[in-house]
Chains A and B, each alone.
Chain A
Amino acid sequence: MVEKPNKFQAALLAGIIFGVLSSIPFVNFVNLCCCLWIVAGGAVAARTLINRSPVFPVTSGEGALVGLLSGVISSLVYLVVGIPLSLLLKGSNVALTQKLAELVNDPNFRSQMEQMIRQNESQSAAEQLAGGLIFWLICSVLAIGFGALGGVIGVAMFEKRKGQPLPPMPPPPGPPGGYTGYAPPPGGQPPTY
């Protein structure tokens, strides 16, 4: 019997990679475009599942499930990597945001960035940690939803086998050499299969 590929394994690698990308400051800005890292993570997980499933075409539901798992893993990676990283790099984040704010021509956007910097500087580490955990909860819900959507989109993009019939079953292993075919038992009925 042909085994179906493990969905968790397919989701794990994509979840970790896109979870790390979502955790790195400034690289995670891609998520500001409708959670694009998370959607991409779901799509890559679906692609991995398709590659690991040479016999069965992957259904849209399986894509949604593997994308959802990828989103869960990404959010866990964000909890373990992203929140500590944002606390550790608080100083350099503020400096980089200040430089970015100087480069921005739009006065409204610049004032928003400056307000964000002031808020960031005035918060203690405990306040930042509590805020980070609340953000993580919000992110987790979003990551699960967008990951599932990414998984379905991944199936739509990468699964080319539509309702293909299953390949023929391989013949059962025959008895060792010398077998010349079925010989009915004396006086008996041939077996039915």
Chain B
Amino acid sequence: MLMSSRKLAASTYAGVLILVLVWIAGIVSDPLIRAAGGDDSTLLSLLAHAYGRVCHQIADRSFHIAGHPLAVCARCFGIYVGYLAGLIVYPFARSLTQTELPPRSWLIAALVPVAVDVAGGYLGIFENTLASRALTGLIAGAAGAFYTLPGLVSLAASLFKAQTTAAPGDEGDNVTQGDAVRA
């Protein structure tokens, strides 16, 4: 299947965006269903177990909606919302077809606040709060989008064998230079 690299990158971006939106909707829908008095125990159990695989779900460490905790803790919620924010900002900051990763130092710098927050809390140096957990997670998540989206676009290019000739106006396109050639 041949597809211009720009279309492929846009499709991959849209797919990732939808997946992240669904993932966050699942987190928020758990307390909303409970607040609405929903008794669909199968759905609630499925949601609890799905998010329970990736988060400790301690209620005291989670944001609440109408008195019910979200399906993940504040830090995880911050990471996912940050990832979504990063995805939304991404097309304005760099080309979707660009598969070169940003400098590694930025990723490390983005992970430092969350590492300090976790370490400070565990070592008893300071008491971290819901806001500090969410904010540091938000920074890490937003940076994560800038590092993972190029990889996913590049993966899609190699899986779907993107057209090696860029569509007109595809300046800076390098989806296929390193990937389709190697595929």
Point out residues on A near B: beta carbons under 8 Å: 4, 29, 31-35, 56-57, 59-65, 68, 106, 108-109, 112, 134-135, 138-139, 142, 145-146, 148-149, 151-153, 155-157, 162-163
Tell me the smallest distance from the CB of A146 to a CB of chain B, in Å. 8
Asked whether A68 and B155 contact (CB < 8 A) given A62-B182, A112-B59, the answer is yes
Tell me the smallest distance from the CB of B10 to a CB of chain A, in Å. 16
B154 contact set on A, CB distance < 8 A: 59-62, 64
A interface footprint on B134-164 (CB within 8 Å = 1, 0 otherwise) = 0000000000100110111111111100000
Tell me the smallest distance from the CB of B151 to a CB of chain A, in Å. 3
A61–B99 CB distance below 8 A: yes
Question: How big is chain B's contact interface, by range?
Answer: 35 or more
The CA-CA distance from A57 to B151 in the complex, in Å, is 14
Asked whether A61 and B107 contact (CB < 8 A) given A31-B53, A32-B56, the answer is no
- Number of A-B residue pairs, CB cutoff 8 Å, is 109
The secondary structure that dominates the A interface is: helix
CB-contact partner of B100 in A34, A62, A106, A162, under 8 A = A162
The CA-CA distance from A106 to B57 in the complex, in Å, is 13
A interface footprint on B94-120 (CB within 8 Å = 1, 0 otherwise) = 000001111010010000000000000
The CA-CA distance from A162 to B144 in the complex, in Å, is 19
A interface footprint on B46-59 (CB within 8 Å = 1, 0 otherwise) = 10011001111011
Tell me the smallest distance from the CB of A111 to a CB of chain B, in Å. 10
A65 contact set on B, CB distance < 8 A: 155, 158-159
B49–A106 CB distance below 8 A: no
The CA-CA distance from A146 to B158 in the complex, in Å, is 19
The secondary structure that dominates the B interface is: helix
B148 contact set on A, CB distance < 8 A: 64, 148-149, 152-153
Tell me the smallest distance from the CB of A14 to a CB of chain B, in Å. 16
The CA-CA distance from A156 to B100 in the complex, in Å, is 10
The CA-CA distance from A162 to B153 in the complex, in Å, is 18
B54–A109 CB distance below 8 A: no
Tell me the smallest distance from the CB of B137 to a CB of chain A, in Å. 9
Confirm or deny: B74 has a beta carbon within 8 angstroms of a beta carbon on chain A: no
The CA-CA distance from A175 to B154 in the complex, in Å, is 43
Ranked 7 nearest A-B pairs via Cβ? A61-B154, A152-B151, A60-B151, A64-B155, A64-B151, A61-B155, A59-B178
CB-contact partner of B53 in A57, A106, A135, under 8 A = A135
CB-contact partner of A152 in B50, B54, B152, B179, under 8 A = B152
Confirm or deny: B76 has a beta carbon within 8 angstroms of a beta carbon on chain A: yes
Confirm or deny: B27 has a beta carbon within 8 angstroms of a beta carbon on chain A: no
A108 contact set on B, CB distance < 8 A: 58-60
Confirm or deny: B79 has a beta carbon within 8 angstroms of a beta carbon on chain A: yes
Tell me the smallest distance from the CB of A52 to a CB of chain B, in Å. 15
The CA-CA distance from A173 to B49 in the complex, in Å, is 62
